Structure 1
Amino acid sequence: MGDTKGCPSGAFALLHPRLKEALVKHGYCEPTPVQERAIPVLLRGVNALVMAPTGSGKTEAALLPLASRVMGRGGDGIKILYVTPLRSLNRDIFLRIVKLLETAGLRVFVRHGDSTSSERRLFLQEPFDVVIITPETLEYLLSSSKRFREYLASLQAVIIDEVHELLDSKRGAELSVVLERLERISRFRVQRVGLSATVGDPMLAARFVAGVGRYVEIIEDPSAKRYEIIVETVKPGSSDNLEAVRLGVEPDTVARLRRIVEYSERYRHVLVFTNTRDTAEMLSKLLSLLVGDDKVRVHHGSLSREERLEAEKLFREGKLPILVATSSLELGIDIGHVEFVVQYLSPRQASKLVQRVGRSGHRLGRVSRGVVLTLSNFYDVLESMVLAARGMRGDIEEPRPYEKPLDVLVHEIAGMVDERGSITIDEVYDIVTRSWPFRDLTWDELLEVIGLMESARILRRDGNVLRPGRRLKSYHYSVTMIPDVKQYVVIEQGSGRRVGVLDEVFVADLSPGKQFVLAGKIWEVLDIGESRVLVRKVDEGSLVLPAWEGDLIPVEWKAAREAGALLRRLANNDSGLHDSYPATSSSWVLLESVVREHKSRGYPVPSDRLVLVEVYRDILALLGFFGTRLAKTLEFLVSTLVAEMVGYTPRSASNAYAVVLQLNSQPSPLLVETLTKLLKRISLDEAKVLVERAAKRSNLFMWKLYHVAVRMGLVEKGAKPERRLLESLADTLAGVEALRELEHDKLDFEALERLLKDIRDGRVRLKIVYSVEPSPLLQHAISVASSGDRVRDSTIPSSVLASVLRKRLDEKKVRLVCLRCGEVFEERIGSLDEKPKCPKCNAGFIAPTSLSSGEARRLVDAARKGVRLKGEDAKRLRELREAADLVLTFGKYALYALSVRGVGPKTARRVLSQLAYGEEAFFKALVEAEQRYLKTRRYWRG
C-alpha cells in the first residue's frame, strides 16, 4: 500500500482509534476539503447540512465522525440511520463505505423494500449498529415492528441523504414527521445531518433537516466545483440527410446522434442524459443502429435491477462507450470515472444541469465538462444558454417544499396510532408541529383531519385519545407518498428474464402482436396477464415507446425572465453577450437569424419587458417569458376571462414561453383589447379565484384528486377513478389538498402577482398584433412543445415524421397520365412545378397512376373517343378523373397525398383540406393517414 507515515492526517486524526486503523487499511490518508471542514463540527454533536457536489466525499464526511461518536458509547441497538431516497444508492454506499465501517468493528445492514424475506428476518433477529434504509421502509418498520422500535432506543444520529431530492416532495414532508417520531423513541438526543448538492436556499434545506427550534449549521465544500459547459446546435450535413431516410428520423436528429458518437470517440466513454425515460429509449435505439448494440446501453428507473446493474458495470469497466440515462444516474451511483457528459436538449433547470455534468470530472479538483445538444429551435437554444450560464455561476433554482400537506398528515397520524396503540391528540400535535413542513398547522386543522379519518374508519376518537379504526392497517400499509401508477412486469418468453416494467396507461393500448421498445430493444407482445406482459425479442419493427408517469421538468420563472432579458439585449444588438453565455457559433447564428426574421416582418420582440399578444386566424397567443408554472397559471386565467366573453371555454395550451388559446373563430379586436385591459387592472385576489375555478374544472385536478383521495384512505388503492365519486370529494379536505398540490406542482401565484403588478405599473407592456401567418417566434414557441423530448406514441414527433415524409416523397418517381391528350410521363415529385402540367399539351388535368403506360393510354383514348367503359375499366377511369381533379385544384400537394400508401382520392381530399391551416398541418395529416392505413391494412386484404 506504500508509505503510510503521517496517515491518517488532518481531521481524520480526530477520529476513534479503530476508525483511524480502518482508514489506513483501506487507503484513506488525507481528508477531502469538505471532510476536513465537516468532521470537527459533527464530532461536537451539532445538527448540520453538508452541501457539496457529487464526488467530494460528503458521505464519508458525515458517516466517519458519527461512527466515531457512537464507537465511544457501548450498548446494543441501532445507533445510526442512513436514510436515502433512492434504492439504487444503497448498493453503492454498501460497496464504498460498509467495508470500512465493518473493519472498524461496526455492523452495517442495508434494508429496503426489495430486501428478501431471509434478509428481513436477519435484520430483526439481532441489532446492527448502522442501518441504511429508504424513507418508506423506515416509516413502515417504525409503525409496525416493536422489535425495530426497541433497537431504535439506542439511536444517536440520522443522516438524510440527497436532501435536495426530498425538499420539494411529499416523501420529504413525511420523513420530516418520522424524524420527530424517532426523537420520542431514542433515549439519546438524535443528531441530524443532511447531505445535499447545492440548493438555491441552503437555510431552508437546513431547517427542513433540523426541524423547529433546533440549532443547525451549514457546512459547505470550501473548494468550489468548476464547470465547463457549452451549448451546441448541430447542423445536419449531406450524409445526415441520407442517414435520416434510413433511420426514419429528421436530419437534425441524426446530426445530434452523430455528434454524440464523435464525443464518445474523443473521450473514453460518454454519459448522455435525457429528461425523460422515453427519450432515453429512443436515443439508445437510434444510437445502436449507428454504432452497434454492444456500444450503447440505456439506464432508467423502469428497467429491471439486473439491466441497470449490468449497464453500470460495463460502463464502469470502460467496455461501454455510450450510456444513455435519465435522473437515475444523476446521484451517487458508482459508474467510475466519466470524462464528458452530454445533455440531450435543454435540461430545463440549472440544478439538473450541474448535477448531471457534475458526474464528469468526478475526482477531487477535476473540472466537470459537458455539452447541451439543443434542438434547432429558438427557445431550446436560448433556454439552454441561460441555464448553462446560471449553472456555472451557481444560480440554482430555489426549493418549493409542500406546506402542511394533509394527505401526509393523515398517513402519519395513522402510523402513530398503529405504533402506540393509542395516542393523545395533544401529543400528535406536538410531534407534527416540530417538523418544518407542519410548523404552521393549527389545532382546528388537525381536528378537521381527525374527523375525516374517523368518518373513513381509519381511527376512533375517544375524547382526547385516538385509537385504531377498522381500516387502519389496511389503509396505512397499502399507501405511500410515492406517486402510484400500476405497473406490469415485462417477461421474456423462454428465458423468463424480467426485462422491465410498463405503466398501466400504456399496457391498455397493447395487444398480442404489437411491438414496443424497452431496454433499447424491440419486443413483440405475446400475451397480457393480470400483472405481466409476455414478450419475445424481434429484430425490426416500428419505434413505439412505453408511456411512463412523469411530466416535463418545469422551467422556473427566474430562468425564463433571464432568457427574456437575453433576447431583449440580442434584439438591441448588445455586444458582449457571447462572453456571458457559453454557446457555439451555430447556436448564436440560429438565434440571430430568427430574431432578424421576426423583426424584418414587423413583429415586436417579446422579452422580460414585453408580452406579445398575437392573433392568427382563430389563435390567440401570449408570447412572453413566463416559466412553466406561471404560463399554466396565465393559461387558466386568460381562458377563463375569454370564456366569460365568448360564452364557451376555448381550447388552450401553454409552455414556458407561450399561452395559446384556440377559439371557434378569429377573436375580434374588441375581445382582444378587452382582455388586455382586464390584465392591466385585475387584482391578484380576483385572478386567483378565476384560476382556481378553471383549475378545478381540469382533468389534471381530477387526476390529482384521485391520488390524494387514495393517500387519505377515502378511495381504496387500485380502485378505478370514478368521476362521480371524485366530484363528490371535490369540496372535502381531499379536494382542498388536491388543489394545493396542483398549485404547488403546476401554478405560480407569486410570479403571477409580480407580472400583474409589472403590467399595471407599465414595467411590462402588452403589444397586440394581427398576423397573416404566425410570427417566427410563435412558430418556434409552439414547435418546441411538439418537437421536444416528451414523446408518447412514437419515438419520432409528428412534426419530424412530416418532415421525413416530405423528403421521402420528393425523391419518389411517379408515373403521370394526361387525361387531355393521353401522354404518359415519369418524374420525381420534388422536381415538378407547384402546378404540374403535361409536357406535350400543357394541360393541368393530369393524374398519377400505377397502370402501365399502355393501359393508361388505352383508357384515356377510349374516353376521348366516347367509348362507354364498364366494370374495372370504368372504375379505373373514374379514379383517374378524381385524382386529376385534385391535381388541377391543389397542384403538387395532391401528388404528395396520392403517392402515400393507402391514400386514395377520397382520403386525399380530406387531407388536402388541412392546407387551410398551413403546409405542416397538411403533412402531419398525411402522416396520420399513412399510419392509419398501416394499422388497418390487414382488414382490407382478400
Structure 2
Amino acid sequence: MPYLRGMSALPPPFDTWFAERGWHLHPHQAEMMDRAEAPALLLIAPTGGGKTLAGFLPSLLELRSGEHEGLHTLYVSPLKALASDIKRNLTGPVEQMGLPIRIEDRTGDTSSARRRRQRADPPHILLTTPESLALMLSYEDAPRLFAGLKRIIVDEIHALAESKRGDQLVLALSRLQAIVPGLRRVGLSATVEDPGAIAGFLARNPDPCEIVHADPGPDPDISILQTAVSPPWAGAGGSYAIADVLEQVRAHKTTLIFHNTRAQAEIFFHNLWLANEDALPIGIHHGSLSREQRSRVEQAMVRGELRAIVATGSLDLGIDWGNVDLVIQVGAPKHVKRLVQRIGRANHRYNAPSKALLIPANRFELVECVAALEAVLERDLDGAPRGDGPRDVLCQHIAIRACAGPFEAAELLAEIRTAGGYENTTRAMFDDCLDFVATGGYALKAYDRWQRLLERDGKWQLRDPRAAQRIRMNIGTIIDSEMLKVRLKGRGGAPLGEVEEGFAATLNKDDTFLIGGKVVRYEGLREMIVEVSPRPNRQPRIATYAGMKFGMTTQLASRVSRLLNQPDWPDLPEHARRWLRLQRARSLMPSDERLLIESFPHDQRAHTCIYGFAGRNAMQTLGLLLTARMERLGLHPLGFVATDYAVLITGLDPVEDPGPLLEIGDLREGFETWLAGNAVMKRTFKSSALIAGLVDRVHQGQRRSGKQATFSADILYDTLRRYDPEHLLLRITREEAFKGLVDFSRIEEMLARTAGRIDHVVLDRVSPMAAPLFLERGRVPVEGAGAERLLAEEAQRLMAAAVLETAGLEPGAGTAEEIGAKP
C-alpha cells in the first residue's frame, strides 16, 4: 500500500521533523515511497540527492508503530566506513523523532560477543557488508534470524557489481529470497552506465527490477587546474602543482585530494606537508593505514577540523563528509565513473553543483583529462559487462550453504539461477562445483582434508560438522595483495625493497627491471622472496615497476583517440597543441581504426613504438610477447616500457615489417608459452583457491602468512597440473589469468578493432609523441635530488631531437624550446 501520492504530506512525526528543518521530499524520494511494495527497485540519483533517505523511509514508516519484532531491513555497503556513517546519520533522526527503532551495524570490526547477541536478538535495521551477510547465512538459525526480513538495501551497487564481492552478494540474495519469498530489494547508486544491466544484477525474473531515475541535477563545476608550471613530459606524482594546490586549499573550507595509488598519495602528502608553511591541518586516508588512524581522520573530517585530506579510493563512495567544497583529482582518472564518484564528494547537496579540479600528472595525461572531463559533462559513463559469475565464488557459496544444513542439489541450483551472473549455470557446471566442494576433485579425493560433503537420503551435508567453523573463518572474496621482498640471490642476500606479488608473477628468468634506481636480473621466486642479481651494465628490459595503477577503460581510450584526431585542439593549452601539431607534421596520429607503429633510431639503438591505447596491463603484456617474438626472429630486443597508450621497444635491429609480429594466432600461442614459463598462473591459482576453499587463509583461528598460503597453493598447483590437468580450479585459473593481471582480451580487442590495418611510419629520429615514453620513470635510473633536473634536461634533449629543423613543419608547430620541458 503506497504511503503517499506524489508530494502529499508525510505522517507524524515525520512531517514535523521535515518541517522543522525546512525540508520536503524530492520527487524521486516520493516515487520510491509510492513504489515501495515493488519486488525490486533501483534508484539512480546524483550524489547528495538523498538516496539513503529514499531507501530507508519506507522501512522507517513501517517500523514507526513498534509492532515489528526482529530484523526488518538489511543494509549492505561495500565499505565498513560507509556502514558506520549511515548508522550515525540514520540514528540521529530516529532518536529525534522518538521512533522505537533499534539500529546496529555488523562488520569485520564487530566483536564476537556483539555478533552472538545480534543473532539471538537482532535489531530492526542491521547495517553490514557482503562478507558479514554471507557469514550470517552460514548458520543453522539463519531462517529464524531472517524470517521477518522485509527489505534489503544495497548501497553503491555499481561498486559491488564490478567485483567478486558483488557475485558473493547476489548469491546471498538468492538464499535470502528462498528463506523470505516476499523480500523486497532496493539498489542505490549515483554512477550507473547501464541501468538495465545493474537492474538485472540486483534482481532476475520472475520479478524484474524497476528503475527510478532522479533529476540528475546541474552539471558539475569541473575544470583542469591552471598551474604556474607546465606538466612534465612523464611521471605520475603531480608534485609540480604543489604550490597551486595549497593555494586552492587556502581558498576553500575542506579539500579532498584524490590519487590513484597509495604510494602516490603518500608522496604527495609528504611534499604537501613540507610546503605547508601556514601549518594548515591536513590529513591522509587510505586502505593501508590502521583502522584507528583512518577513524581519527574520519572523525576530524566530520567535525570540520581538516582543511585538506589526501586520499585514495578509500573515500570514493557515498560518505557525507560535511564541509567538503572542493575535490582535486591528481593524475588522469582512468575511469569516468570513478571521476564522477569522486567529484560528487564536494558540495554533497541535491541540486548543488560539485566543484572539482583535475591535475594531469604529465602532458600525455593532459589529453586524457580533457577527454574525461568531456565525458563527465556529457554524462557518458564507462564500464564493461562482467559476464557470467565466477565459479570460485560459486564453490564458496555451496560450502556456505552446507554449513547452514542439508540441501538438495536441484533446489540450490534453482536458487543460484536467480542470481545475476549465474542464470546461465548448467547442471554440469553446478555438479563440477559441487563435486569439488564435496571431495576436492579427482586428484584430491584420497585426502581426508578435502572430503567435506556427503550425500545422504538425497541431500548434501557436511561430512564432519566441525568443518563449518573452518569454512566460516575463510569466507570472503577480497584477496590482499602481498608485498614480496626483493633480495640479492645467495645466502644473506641484501634486501633491496619490495614489489607487489602481481608484478613478480609476470617475470621470467633473466628479465631485468629497476628497483631503488638499480638494474637487477630476476633469478627466481623462492616462496615469498624475489631473488635477483645485480646487472649495473644492462638496460632494464621491463623499464618500470608500475605498482597498483588503474588501467584506462576502453571507452575513455576511444575518447582520447578521437580527441587526438580532431583538426585542432581548442580545449588544450597552447603548449600541448604545438606538441600535437608537431606529431602530425612529423608522423601520424593514432586512431581507433588503424594501428600506428613508428620505427626510428635513437642513441644508436633501434626503437619501435606501438600505439595501442589498450590500458597499462595489456600494453605491458604486449611488450612481453613482442620482445619474445623479436628474440626468436633474431631482432635482438633489449627491453621495453609500457603505458596506457603505447609500448616502446628498444633493440639492436630495426623492425622493417611489424605485421608478422602482430598475428593474433602467433601472439596467442606465445601468450600460452609465456604463461607456462612464469608465476602468473600460480598466483592466479592461489587467489581462486583461497576463494573456493581449497587453501585456507585462516587456520585454527590464526591468519596464515602469505608465505604459508603461497607454499600450500604452489604445491597444490604443481600436483594438479601433473595428475589432474582438467581440474576445476585449473580451468578457473586459466579463465582468470586471461582477464586478470595480463588483460590479454584487450590485446585481442585492439587487433580485432584494427583488423590488420597498420600504419608503419619509418622516421629518422624520435617522434614527438614517442618522446615522453623515454622519460617514464626507470628509463633514467638516478637517485637523489638531481633526478628531476636530469629528467627535465633529458626532456629538452628528446624534444629537440623530435623537431625537424628543415622545411615541412606546419606553421606554428613551434620550436624545441617552445614545446620543451623547461621547469
Q: Give the 3-state SS of the residue equivalent to 2:404 in structure 1.
A: helix
| TM-score of the two chains, using structure 2 as the length reference | 0.78
Pick from 58, 81, 88 the counterpart of residue 81 of structure 2: 88
Tell me if structure 2 keeps the 8 A contact 1:417–1:466: yes
Q: Give the 3-state SS of the residue equivalent to 1:363 in structure 2.
A: coil
Q: Does 1:655 align with 2:664?
A: no
Q: Is 117-126 or 54-63 further displaced after alignment?
A: 117-126
Pick from 236, 239, 264 the counterpart of residue 249 of structure 2: 264
Q: Is 223-232 or 260-269 further displaced after alignment?
A: 223-232
Letter of the structure 2 residue corresponding to residue 211 of structure 1: R
CA gap 1:669/1:483 in 2 versus in 1, 3 angstroms: same
Tell me if structure 2 keeps the 8 A contact 1:82–1:131: yes
Residue of structure 2 equivalent to 1:425: 409
Deviations along 1:273-312, one digit per CA (max 9) or x if unpaired, are 1111121111111111111565211011222333223323
Residue of structure 1 equivalent to 2:816: none
* Superposition map of 1:447-596 within 5 A: 447-453=431-437, 454-455=439-440, 456-462=450-456, 464-470=458-464, 472-473=467-468, 475-485=470-480, 504-505=483-484, 551-569=548-566, 572=567, 574=568, 577-578=569-570, 581=571, 587-596=572-581
Residue of structure 1 equivalent to 2:166: 172
CA gap 1:431/1:10 in 2 versus in 1, 3 angstroms: closer
Q: Give the 3-state SS of the residue equivalent to 1:476 in structure 2.
A: helix
Pick from 696, 700, 712 the counterpart of residue 716 of structure 1: 696
Tell me if structure 1 keeps the 8 A contact 2:383–2:553: no
**Distance of 1:197 and 1:308 partners within structure 2:** 25
CA gap 1:646/1:778 in 2 versus in 1, 3 angstroms: same
Q: Does 1:779 align with 2:771?
A: yes
**Distance of 2:291 and 2:634 partners within structure 1:** 54
Instruction: Please list every run of 5 or more consecutive structure 1 residues that lacks an aligned counterpart in the other structure.
Output: 1-7, 242-248, 487-502, 517-547, 582-586, 788-795, 811-942
Tell me if structure 2 keeps the 8 A contact 1:181–1:431: yes
Tell me if structure 1 keeps the 8 A contact 2:228–2:244: no
Deviations along 1:450-470, one digit per CA (max 9) or x if unpaired, are 222213323224584322145
Tell me if structure 2 keeps the 8 A contact 1:562–1:608: no
**Distance of 2:401 and 2:62 partners within structure 1:** 30
Q: Give the 3-state SS of the residue equivalent to 1:154 in structure 2.
A: coil
Q: Does 1:398 align with 2:378?
A: no
CA gap 1:402/1:702 in 2 versus in 1, 3 angstroms: farther
Deviation at 1:211, TM superposition (A): 3.0
Instruction: Please list every run of 5 or more consecutive structure 2 residues that lacks an aligned counterpart in the other structure.
Output: 441-449, 499-544, 698-703, 795-823
Residue of structure 2 equivalent to 1:910: none
Q: Does 1:604 align with 2:588?
A: yes
**Distance of 1:593 and 1:808 partners within structure 2:** 18
Letter of the structure 2 residue corresponding to residue 305 of structure 1: R
**Distance of 1:618 and 1:383 partners within structure 2:** 28
**Distance of 1:440 and 1:515 partners within structure 2:** 46
CA gap 1:462/1:799 in 2 versus in 1, 3 angstroms: farther
CA gap 1:10/1:296 in 2 versus in 1, 3 angstroms: farther
Pick from 386, 393, 418 the counterpart of residue 408 of structure 1: 393
Deviation at 1:357, TM superposition (A): 1.1
Q: Give the 3-state SS of the residue equivalent to 1:721 in structure 2.
A: helix
Letter of the structure 2 residue corresponding to residue 333 of structure 1: I
Q: Give the 3-state SS of the residue equivalent to 1:438 in structure 2.
A: coil
Q: Does 1:445 align with 2:429?
A: yes
Q: Give the 3-state SS of the residue equivalent to 2:376 in structure 1.
A: helix
Deviation at 1:190, TM superposition (A): 0.3
Pick from 685, 695, 707 the counterpart of residue 687 of structure 2: 707
**Distance of 1:807 and 1:748 partners within structure 2:** 31
Deviation at 1:608, TM superposition (A): 2.7
Pick from 595, 613, 623 the counterpart of residue 625 of structure 1: 613
**Distance of 1:552 and 1:53 partners within structure 2:** 27
Residue of structure 1 equivalent to 2:513: none
Q: Give the 3-state SS of the residue equivalent to 2:257 in structure 1.
A: strand
**Distance of 1:233 and 1:92 partners within structure 2:** 35
Tell me if structure 1 keeps the 8 A contact 2:75–2:128: yes
Q: Give the 3-state SS of the residue equivalent to 2:410 in structure 1.
A: helix
Pick from 209, 216, 228 the counterpart of residue 216 of structure 1: 209
Letter of the structure 1 residue corresponding to residue 336 of structure 2: A
Deviation at 1:482, TM superposition (A): 3.7
CA gap 1:337/1:12 in 2 versus in 1, 3 angstroms: farther
Residue of structure 2 equivalent to 1:156: 150
CA gap 1:752/1:401 in 2 versus in 1, 3 angstroms: same
Deviation at 1:446, TM superposition (A): 1.2
Pick from 32, 37, 40 the counterpart of residue 34 of structure 2: 40
Letter of the structure 2 residue corresponding to residue 375 of structure 1: A
Deviation at 1:233, TM superposition (A): 5.7
**Distance of 1:119 and 1:439 partners within structure 2:** 36
User: When the two structures are aligned, how many residues end up with a matched partner?
Assistant: 709
Letter of the structure 2 residue corresponding to residue 804 of structure 1: E
CA gap 1:508/1:406 in 2 versus in 1, 3 angstroms: farther
Q: Give the 3-state SS of the residue equivalent to 1:777 in structure 2.
A: coil
Q: Does 1:295 align with 2:292?
A: no
Deviation at 1:324, TM superposition (A): 0.8
Q: Is 322-331 or 67-76 further displaced after alignment?
A: 67-76
Tell me if structure 1 keeps the 8 A contact 2:73–2:151: yes
**Distance of 2:766 and 2:458 partners within structure 1:** 65
Structure whose alpha-carbon radius of gyration is higher: 1
% same residue: 24
**Distance of 2:497 and 2:752 partners within structure 1:** 52
**Distance of 1:104 and 1:252 partners within structure 2:** 50
Pick from 351, 354, 367 the counterpart of residue 382 of structure 1: 367
CA gap 1:695/1:771 in 2 versus in 1, 3 angstroms: farther
Q: Which has the higher helix share?
A: 1
Deviation at 1:71, TM superposition (A): 5.1
Q: Does 1:360 align with 2:346?
A: yes
**Distance of 1:322 and 1:714 partners within structure 2:** 45
**Distance of 2:650 and 2:660 partners within structure 1:** 17
**Distance of 2:777 and 2:486 partners within structure 1:** 25
Deviation at 1:386, TM superposition (A): 0.4
Deviation at 1:23, TM superposition (A): 4.6
Letter of the structure 2 residue corresponding to residue 81 of structure 1: L
Letter of the structure 1 residue corresponding to residue 327 of structure 2: V
Residue of structure 2 equivalent to 1:332: 318
**Distance of 1:782 and 1:809 partners within structure 2:** 12
Residue of structure 2 equivalent to 1:282: 267
CA gap 1:568/1:45 in 2 versus in 1, 3 angstroms: closer
CA gap 1:426/1:803 in 2 versus in 1, 3 angstroms: same
Residue of structure 2 equivalent to 1:68: 61
Pick from 298, 301, 308 the counterpart of residue 322 of structure 1: 308
Tell me if structure 2 keeps the 8 A contact 1:613–1:768: yes
Tell me if structure 1 keeps the 8 A contact 2:106–2:126: yes
Q: Does 1:139 align with 2:130?
A: no
CA RMSD of aligned residues (A): 3.8
Pick from 115, 118, 142 the counterpart of residue 120 of structure 1: 115
Pick from 194, 214, 228 the counterpart of residue 221 of structure 2: 228
Tell me if structure 2 keeps the 8 A contact 1:338–1:359: yes
* Superposition map of 1:836-855 within 5 A: none
Tell me if structure 2 keeps the 8 A contact 1:459–1:468: yes
Q: Give the 3-state SS of the residue equivalent to 2:118 in structure 1.
A: helix
CA gap 1:39/1:14 in 2 versus in 1, 3 angstroms: farther
